[in-house]
Structure 1
Amino acid sequence: MGNKLRVVTQMASDPYYVYHFLAFFSYFIVRTSVTSLLSPRITHRLFHREIQAILAFSVLIVIKMVKEETRESFIAESLFFAKVFLVAISSIMDYHLALVYIVVFSVIYILTQQPPFEGLGTSSKLTPLQLEALLTEGNTSRYWLVEFRTSCSSPCIRASRCLPELSITYSNKNLSFGIVDLGLFPNAAEKFGISVSASMGHLPTFILFENAAEVKRFPEFKFEEKSSHPPVTKKLLSRHFELDQLLLEYVNGK
């Protein structure tokens, strides 16, 4: 209950959510104001399109609730579909209104960013120097799974919950988790072979180190020539880095 209350409080105070709420709420004000000015034919058509949009949006929401693994990804997809439906319905009243909403949503996109997951689980926020020290000292974990992200990347925001929640399940004396913000330390990107360009699809990048040596990463270098890779999920990361196997090795004392 406390966690849900915290989420609601965050959404009520964050500009990203506040601006979107105001934009969607304005439709009801406009709808009420212009109803008397519309012809019966347009009013009838608008009502039916609104019902269709609500039903279609509800179906999409249910599908996304089943498919999306993180709350951040679910919110992002839901808002996207809501904006598409709002613009489409607004165009029935007046295409100028639809253009206004397109401009409004564009401004919101420029001025605000969807907030990432704020919890860390048992993972640690690290600077590149701290990470290098932890990897080379030799008296810390044998394995380090590190996420390299930026706070202005939509894929990073959508996946921001995965590593912290994995750390709660898999952290032990042999395996630790860390997060490096390349937005704060862009020079570290080249060192680890990561491009911060959105077109390269490198962000977020997850690298598993064993005794300071890179063992595996996601996305792998073979994705470099492509613009996309499978969406980041906890299941994908757990399977790709064989976290269950690493946990079993720790339990069995290997």
Structure 2
Amino acid sequence: MSVKKDLLQLLRPYYLVNIILSLSYIVIKRIPGVCNYIFNTDNCEFEGRETEILFFLLIVIVMRTRKTGSVSMISYLSSSFIYTKIANLILWFNADYKMGIVYGILFILGALLVPEPAYSGPNNVIYFKGESDLTEEVSNKTTWLVAFYTAWNPTCVNLAPVFAKLSTSYALDNLKFGKIDIGRYPEAGKKYHVSDSSMSKQLPTIILFQEGKEVTRRPMADAKGKLIKFMFSEENLKMAFGLNNLYETAKKETKSENISNSKKNK
């Protein structure tokens, strides 16, 4: 069922456009006739430099997707598109700077006109509109699990369905799930020490708040201040934040409060 769902998602414009852009050089280079015309050559085999670039690309994709914790076909594709397109840009410029310019324009237009689709499935997540909104909400007695993210980061995009699924399973009146886009509200990132830089290793960051205080976060820093890698899978999140215990505690508190209110009403 999951594979079928992923295959259907590949029919969306974002994935179709990016797959075409990612495979453009390899496909055109290997089609006789088209290759001869485009590259003005009799040889449609990959040259030494081209092979080196493609091999290096493969290594980068494998390493980066492992770091982002990608666990599905769609996640792997989303994580790899930027690297495959940059590699294609280099290959096209290496072959012909004019074709490189054309590809660069298509690269930019694709990013602007066909953005990655946001997760639209069921969720029980509250989206904060700024640092003051976030601070006000987490200051009460409710336990909050808040994801700090940016819309352009692949790992943040991959986290969305996982975080949404957890919210539908664990959210209660006194255990809530929230998200804030620190690309849009950078002041929230500054207050809670989450960098929104394009080179940031803190995206996404999930923080557990209880009674207005930060209890723990992932990724977290070690004693030397170096970030410890964290895979944002469903099971890892459950274990890291003790979601099962949080849920049971929140349920007991709700039940006790209901009993107390019932006695007062009598």
Shorter-chain TM-score bucket reads: 0.5 to 0.7
Secondary structure in structure 2 of the residue aligned to 1:180: strand
Aligned to 1:204: 204
| Aligned residue among 1, 7, 20 for 2:9 | 7
Name the residue aligned to 1:34. Answer: 35
Q: Structure 1 residues 87, 103: closer, same or farther in 2, change over 3 A?
A: closer
Instruction: Report whether the alignment pairs 1:240 with 2:243.
Output: no
Count of paired positions: 232
- Partner letter of residue 183 of structure 1? G
Q: Deviations over 1:81-100 (max 9, x none)?
A: 76589789989xx8338957
Change (3 A) 1:99 1:188: same
Unaligned segments of structure 2, at least 5 residues: 257-266
The C-alpha deviation readout for 1:132-187, integer Å capped at 9, x for no partner, is 3323344xxx3110111111223322322221111112112331101111122111
Task: Summarize the Cα distance change of 1:114–1:191 in structure 2 as closer, same or farther, 3 Å threshold.
Answer: same
Is it true that 1:117 corresponds to 2:115 in the alignment? no
Question: Partners of 1:103 and 1:5 in 2: how far apart?
Answer: 28
Post-superposition Cα deviations, 1:14-52, rounded to whole Å, max 9, x if no partner, equal 4xx35324435755566242358754xx45x56xx99xx
Residue aligning to 1:23 = 21
Measure, in 1, the Cα distance between the counterparts of 2:90 and 2:196. Answer: 34
1:220 aligns with 2:220: yes
C-alpha contact 2:220 2:227 (8 A) present in aligned 1: no
- Gapped regions of structure 1 (runs ≥ 5): none
| 1-structure distance, mates of 2:246, 2:237 | 13
Query: Partner letter of residue 169 of structure 1?
Result: S
Task: Tell me which residue corresponds to 1:132.
Answer: 135
Q: Deviations along 1:192-238, whole A, 9 cap, x unmatched?
A: 12222233422211111112121111122439944772232222221
Q: Shift of the alpha carbon at 1:103?
A: 4.2
Distance change >3 Å, CA 82–CA 193, structure 1 → 2: closer
> 1:143 maps to what in 2?
143
- Secondary structure at the aligned position of 2:160 is classed as coil
Q: Which amino acid aligns with 1:195?
A: S
Counterpart residue number, 1:230:
230
TM-score (norm 1): 0.67
Output the CA distance in 2 between the equivalents of 1:174 and 1:114.
Answer: 33
Secondary structure of 1:160's match?
helix
Distance 2:164 2:73 in 1: 14
Percent sequence identity over matched residues?
Answer: 21
TM-score, reference length from structure 2: 0.64
